[in-house]
Structures are given as C-alpha cells and as structure tokens.
Chain A
C-alpha cells in the first residue's frame, strides 16, 4: 500500500509528468489518424525510450497506449471510419449522431465513458496485482507452456478473418522467430553467417515494418474520406450528462472490457463489438440502436479503454502479450531491463504501480485534452495523407536508425514492411505473426523445460485442465459469433494473386527445412516441425482456395465450407500500395548516397509535390521544421545520422551526415 501511494507521488514529479504527457499527446495523434494505432505509436517511441530511466520510459509507453482508444472516436464520429480497430462499433451510432448534428454530444459522451472505462481498468489491474503472487507461483513450466500455446491459438483463430489463415500466420511467426542462435545448443539457424541475424531482427523493427508501414501506404491508397472539422458545436455538456445517466451501462461494459482484454487475441479487435452486442441484448427496446443512440457510443467506448487494464494482467504477470501493442510494450520492457513475471509484483512493484497510475492519469489526461481542445484536435483529421505520409516515413527511418545504428535494420524494416503490406492486402493476420515471432523462443524453451521436468504429465495438472477447457470454450463461442459475418467472395478480382501468394509463403518453410535440417536434432527439431505444420496448413489453404476458385463440388461439404469462410481478402489495392512501398526503397537508396538529412528533405519535397504541385510551400516548410527537430533530437541523443556515400567523400558538418569528431 505504501508503494502504491509513493508511486503516485513519484508520478507527479515534473519529469515523469512530462514524459507521460508527451506520450499521451503522441497517443492521441496516432489514435486520430485512421489506421495508425497503439502498435505503430509504440513502435515509433521505443527506439528512444531505452536510454531513459525505466520509470520515465514506462510512463511514456503507457502514455502512448492509453489514449489511442479515446481519440480514435474523432474519425469514427466525424468521418464514419474507425481511428483504430477498437472503435469500429462506435461508428454504428456515433456517425449517425454526427449526421443529426449531435457530433459534440457523441464525442463528449465517448470521451467521458473512455475516461471512466480507462480508470476502471486501472483499478481492476491494481486489485489483481494484489492477488498475483500465488497465481504466478502456481504456474510452472507446464502451465506457462500451455498458457502460451493457448494464447497463440486464440490469437491465431480470432485476429484473422479466416481462422486457419490466422493460425498459419502464428506458426509462420514462430518460424521467423526461431531464426538466430538455437537456445539449447547455440547452433546458428538460418543466419547465413551474419552477426545481424544471430539475435534475430529487433522486435521494434518487426513492429514498425508489420504495422506502421502498411498502415501508411494504406492511408495513401485510401485517398481520404470526406473529413470535417468541428465548428462551434454545442452539446458537450449533454454528452457528459448522458454518461452519468447510464452509469450502470458504463460499469457493465467496463467489466466486459477488462475481462475480454485479459484474454489473448480478443482485446484489440472485438471488445467493442462484444460490448455493443451486450447493449443490444440487454435493452428492452433496441430499435434506436444503430440509428444514433447515445448508448451505442457509450458502451463500446467504455469497454475499449477498460480493456487496457485487463490486457496488462497477462502481460505483466506472465509476459504473454494479448495483442500487437502489448508485444511492443514487452519489447520495451526488455529494452529497459525489466522482466515480466514474479518480479513485477515483488521487487519491481513500485514500477508496476507507477504503470497503473500512469494508465489512470493518461486516460484522464487524454479525455480532458480531447474535450478541452476538441475543435483543434479534430482538425488533424483534415490533414492530407500525402503530406502526413512522408513525414511519418522519415520519422520511422530516424527511429529505426536509433535502435542499433545499424544499416541492416533498414533491410529488416523494409523486408517486414513488404510482409506487412502483403499480409494486409491478402488477408493474413499481422498481430498473429507478430505475437508468434515474439513468443517463439519462449515456446521452444518451455517445450524443452516442460519435457525435462514433467514429461507429458503436465497435461493432467489441475491448472492445465482448467486452462484447456477455458481456451477451447472461448474459441468455440467466439468463432460462432464471429463467423456469422461471412462476406461473399465471388466478386473478388484478385483471387488469383491471393492464390499465388500462398505459394510464395510456402517458400519460407521449405527453405528453412533445407537449410537447417542438417543441424543437431535439438536445434532443428522445433523449427523443422513447425515448418511441416505450416506446409500442411498452407497446402490446405491453397487447395480450399482452388476449390472455391473453380466452384468445385467439394464446396458443399460443411468442413470445406467452414474452412472456406473469408479465405479471400476482399480489399484490394495492392498494386498502388506496392508503388508507394517502392518509393520507400528509393528513399533508402538516397540515404545510402547523400545521407539521412539531405535524403529526407528530397524525399518529403518530391513526395508532396508529386501529389500536388501547389503544396510546394507546405513541403518546404515541413522539411525545414523537420530538419530543425531532427537536429535538436540528434543533439539530445548524441546520435550521428546515417552517413551517406557523399558524406564520406566530402567534409560535411556532422548534423548533415558528416563525421562526428
């Protein structure tokens, strides 16, 4: 209790508040920009936090995560598109309300219930910490192993549109994660003699590549919805009153958010829908729902902020991330030297409480800022994507370089970027891939450790049985609900390329088997068996796609039908996105030649002027401001910019990419 209070006062030191505040601001911004969410935001911050004190870094990371589900309401209500995956259900009633001229009411109700939900989540988290020690001690190797396998299954089954594709993505993630030195024998797997791959690609690079890059090209490709800013709207107070009138609904949906958030794989994507359908089921008269009922905003918004508190429970206690952004949070823990598990509730209890307070305060801060500066913040939705995108790319490159100061990281970034873009375009789950990647080493080690201590008897331990029952129960329940929404895949044009993509994915396991099967069995058993599983799954997907493509009579069988649900991704636009992706490669090559600062100026100006010549003034101002900011940052971080070819030939000042000394 004493630590609980002292953590509170620690947080109110100026520097802590400053980091929390700047994190919250960034979180608000990435929440507003459609597509970008907590995962991309954290990936952008991580390269800079590792040089901070752990408590500052934690305050900042939580600050980024917490308010994204608050500010994502802006685009949901104003434009009818969700800012993050967590506000899809908010659109249902929020957008109609805004069309009726009640945008302010909808927004203030959303922010207020976000605040309540977020604080409630932090409260539940702090209670669960209190009871954590016996729970952690009850989880031996076997239970941890099961917990991870079940988490992977759930993530795989639930984050993708098609559950076999989701599980396959998980396994591909596990395979990619096994690249590097084998944890048991130290044999080098799939490293091709490079030191870079010995430790594997850094998790931040994978996160940036899989999430940030695809979302940015996605934004560019979407051409932008009709945005509108708030102008002196009224009804702010009414929205807040609505929330207090429906306090019981807020409480129920926050509880739902907490519980669902604690279950891996659910948190990010479906919690708002679960809260929304709960609302629908419990109302006597639900005829207004979907046409602009304020309760349709309150329910999902209180749930999607409460889920953060719930989701932190497995993250802190077991190191098992339930969603993409928790993977990066754990990656951040590793960077600042904190190991999740027992230490979080014993020796690092102060840091845990600091996180809980940060979570509560970031939620309050985020909602406060959103209400107080609503008309200003809403203008962010007006920014044209082709102006925003190059700036984001430059920031991502800067962040990437700051991780290891290693050119190879850019190859990793663009490599995972391509995987991310194609995964998104062809309907493969990126969170599943990321979580598989992150947990791979742990899975391998735990399988050996469990085997050495228990053999197969671990399956009969009481906690294990409870876990297995819980997991399959949840998966069945949710699969039933989720896959009611099947869209007809018959009209898709790019079916063929989606079929080819499966064949491309097959290359990875095949290549892996051929390269590493000659190693000692303790180094090769794990990746090779994963490869075989993934090959089988990929073949299944391939054949079901072919069956669907040819409208074969096998399609009548219910098992084939079931596998076939949503097996094709309906969104297209891969070609455009790939074109944008190529421009990033061009930017990287420019970096090689002229160094980072000059390349960035050229990139931003060309990119913006290419889209609209009239914006040349904006592009010049932006690139100038960016140079000043980068110069300031690099000074703070004593970071030398990537040195281009020219920089090594001509003597240049170091802030332009010359030698430091």
Chain B
C-alpha cells in the first residue's frame, strides 16, 4: 500500500513536471501592453519587472513592452481585450485608473477586466498632509473640520481622485472643496504656493518631496490610507508609522468603528487605489497551466535577492501580492457593490458634480 502511494505520488509529480514542461516560451516574444505613455508609473513598473520575468519564465522569452496611451487608459486596454491571445504571449500592465474605469461604469470600456488572470499585484499607499499653520499638531484635524474652505486638487471625478471626495466626507471635513483639473504634480505645486490646503502623494513623492518639508516643520502629516491584508486587517503604513490610517481617523471622528456600508466601500476603494495600484494580468481564458507557470515565475522573482535589493527602492516598501489572492483583490476593486456606488454618488451629488458612478 505504502509503495503504491509512493508510486502514485511519483506519478503525480512526474505528471505535474510534465505539465510544466509543456509550457515553454523559448524563442518566443511576449508582448506586454501598457495602456499609458512611457515614463509613467505603470511603464516604470513593467520595465522593472521585465528582466526578472525573462529570467524566470521557462525558455527565457524576450519581453517587448508596448505603450498604447490614450483615452484615459481605455484605448490600450480595449486594444488588449481585442488583440491579446490567451496563450501566455500577451501580458497586461494594469493600474488603478484602468480598474476605476471599470468600477465606475465608463461606457467606453470594452475590456472584461474582472475575468483577467492576475499574476502579480504591487500595492501603493496614499499619504494626506497639510500646511503646519492650518492645524495645531500632526494628525489632529479638528481645525480643518471647522474651517469654512479647505481646498484640495482633483484631477477629474471620473478618476481615482473621486475617492478623495468620499474620504474627506467621511472624516467630517465639511469645507472640503475640490479644485478641478489638477494633476498630482500640479496640485503639489499649488500646495507649495499656499493656494490649496490639503494634498496627498504616493510613496515615492512622499519620501522625495514631502518628508524633507515635514522635517523642516512646514508640513504636518494627517493620515494614510493604510495597508489592507488578505483577511481585511488594516495596518499602518511603514513609511509613516506614526500617522493614523483612514480607519483610525474614522473612528476618532465618528466615535464608532469603521463598519457596515462604509467598511465595504473602504475595502473596494482600498483594493482599487492601494492593493491593486499596479498589476500584471493575463488575458481572460488563459489556460490554468500557463497561469501557474507565470505565478511560479513571479514567486521565484519576488524571492530573488537581486530583486529584493532593488525593489524597495524602485517600487516602494510594500510587499507584492502573487497568485490566487490577487484575483480576489482585482474582483473586489473592479466590481463595486450597489451600496458602494450609491455612497460615491451621494458624495458626488453633495459636491455638485454631475458625474455619476454607473
């Protein structure tokens, strides 16, 4: 019996080896479609991953990054949906804006994101901060809550910036008023000129531009979005360990724990905005054995000492998500529940935006 068992195991092992061996990319060219222009975050992400992926995919295929910017990432994404073959020779470089287009029901979207097969997710996090003359001490927003006008930059309500409106609404900054049409760097410049009161940045800009000013005492931290793990636990951002997360701030302001509809909305927002900030996906209908090969390669890549050494500097201090749990996050991010949509539309209406999440 024992012998039989061993044989069976060996057979299974051999079979699985065989199945893996079947997927071989030697001599092939893999096209990585990035629906943004060169030099952007997603482009940098894919260019950083590319050599490692070549190294760990069976057959060491050449990977060609193809930038198709335009239409708020819709053009390239639709192109991928139409042209990508589900045989492992096409990869999709996805980011928050690609997901938000789906989650908010943009009618031009022709790509079926929630059935793509995720390989790798790179989380990011948002830091909120303000000028030191506007609040008494870091993390204390009581003065901002009383202020009549609290201006902040907002690219367009049809982008991930929409979440700012919800966040400020939930922590009771009643005077919050968005200044439309400001890109992230435009808002940062306006903040430095003293024209807007609240600003937020991702990890890279936070370290480079904001931290030095915090040390000089010109800027004070307010909070971070917080990191959400697979079980839904929310932890503080290691880059600003003293700053409360959104959920802590919510509790402090509202006197109750983040729960119910608000928590549900927060999970969706965090998934789209933070957990799946940048990601690498395979087209829908990609056979499982190919998906497994990719995920294995990604796991090996994450453990590569060379990768580890460089990744923190290029991609930030957050752990990458590989494999099955990535799928759940993408689904959560791309499919907003009706309750969440209702919540977002409520704050949009409150701030007199005509745009609605569909």
Contacts and interface: CB of A to CB of B under 8 A. Distances in A.
Interface of A: 50-51, 54, 136-137, 140-141, 181, 183-187, 195, 198-199, 335-337, 339, 341-343, 347, 404, 441, 444-445, 448-449, 452-453, 520, 522-523, 638
5 contacts: A140-B190, A181-B72, A183-B181, A445-B182, A522-B354
Given A199-B71, A445-B180, A522-B354, A336 B185 contact: no
Contacts of A522: 354
B195 interface: yes
A343 B70 contact: no
Contacts of A341: 185-186, 189
A445 B187 CA distance: 13
Contacts of A448: 179-181
Nearest to B89: A661
A404 B70 CA distance: 9
B343 to A, nearest CB: 19
B39 A185 contact: no
A185 B353 contact: yes
A140 B354 contact: no
Interface string B165-200: 000000000000101111101100110110110000
B300 interface: no
A232 B355 CA distance: 71
Contact of A449 (B108, B157, B179): B179
A520 B354 contact: yes
A452 B74 contact: no
A342 B187 CA distance: 12
Contacts of A339: 183, 185
B179 A453 contact: yes
B351 to A, nearest CB: 12
B232 interface: no
Interface in B68-88: 70-72, 74-75, 78
Given A50-B38, A453-B151, A140 B181 contact: no
Interface in B107-134: 108
A140 B40 contact: no
A448 B181 CA distance: 9
A182 to B, nearest CB: 9
B108 A198 contact: yes
B37 to A, nearest CB: 6
Contacts of A335: 37
B38 A449 contact: no
B156 interface: yes
Contacts of B355: 185-186
A404 B37 CA distance: 11
A342 B209 CA distance: 13
A445 B64 CA distance: 37
B86 to A, nearest CB: 16
B138 interface: no
Nearest to A52: B38
A51 B38 contact: yes
B180 A183 contact: yes
A195 B73 CA distance: 11
B295 to A, nearest CB: 26
Given A195-B108, A198-B108, A453-B179, A141 B195 contact: yes
Interface of B: 37-40, 64, 70-72, 74-75, 78, 108, 151, 156-158, 177, 179-183, 185-186, 189-190, 192-193, 195-196, 208, 353-355
Given A141-B195, A185-B157, A199 B189 contact: no
A154 B46 CA distance: 44
B70 A54 contact: no
B39 A336 contact: yes
Contacts of B179: 448-449, 452-453
Contacts of A445: 180-182
B38 A336 contact: yes
A136 B186 CA distance: 12
Given A187-B354, A343-B185, A449-B180, A638 B75 contact: no
Contact of B181 (A337, A347, A449, A638): A449
A638 B64 contact: yes
Shortest Cβ-Cβ A-B pairs, 9 listed: A337-B39, A445-B181, A186-B158, A520-B354, A183-B181, A184-B180, A185-B354, A198-B71, A186-B355
B177 A199 contact: no
Given A185-B156, A444-B181, 20 more contacts: A50-B37, A137-B192, A140-B193, A181-B72, A185-B353, A185-B355, A186-B158, A195-B74, A198-B71, A335-B37, A339-B183, A339-B185, A341-B185, A341-B189, A342-B189, A441-B181, A448-B180, A452-B180, A453-B195, A453-B196
Given A141-B195, A337-B39, A195 B75 contact: yes
A336 B39 CA distance: 7
Nearest to A523: B354
A453 B152 CA distance: 10
A199 B196 CA distance: 27
Contacts of B189: 136, 341-342
B156 A141 contact: no
Contacts of B354: 185, 187, 520, 522-523
Nearest to B29: A661
A184 B185 contact: no
Pick the most buried of A335, A452, A522: most chain B CB atoms within 10 A of its CB: A452
A336 B158 CA distance: 25
B313 to A, nearest CB: 16
Nearest to A139: B193
B27 to A, nearest CB: 13
B156 A186 contact: yes
A94 B302 CA distance: 68
A141 B190 contact: yes
B38 A337 contact: yes
Residue of B151, B177, B183, B195 with most chain A CB atoms under a 10 A cut-off: B195
Contacts of A136: 189
A195 B71 contact: yes
Nearest to B188: A342
A51 B37 CA distance: 10
A186 B157 contact: yes
A183 B181 CA distance: 6
A181 to B, nearest CB: 8
Given A184-B181, A195-B75, A404-B70, A140 B195 contact: yes
Nearest to A180: B71
B193 A137 contact: yes
A444 B181 CA distance: 9
Nearest to A182: B156
A452 B196 CA distance: 10
Contacts of A54: 39
A453 B354 CA distance: 21
A339 B40 CA distance: 12
A183 B157 CA distance: 9
Contacts of B190: 140-141, 449
Nearest to A454: B195
Given A336-B38, A520-B354, A184 B156 contact: yes
Contacts of B182: 445, 449
B46 to A, nearest CB: 14
Contacts of A184: 156, 180-181
B40 A337 contact: yes
B162 to A, nearest CB: 10
B340 to A, nearest CB: 19
A50 B183 CA distance: 21
A127 to B, nearest CB: 23
A140 B71 CA distance: 29
B195 A183 contact: no
Nearest to A638: B64
Nearest to B153: A449
Nearest to A202: B70
A441 B155 CA distance: 13
A342 B192 CA distance: 11
A337 B195 CA distance: 25
A445 B156 CA distance: 11
Nearest to A54: B39
B298 to A, nearest CB: 26
Contacts of B180: 183-184, 445, 448-449, 452
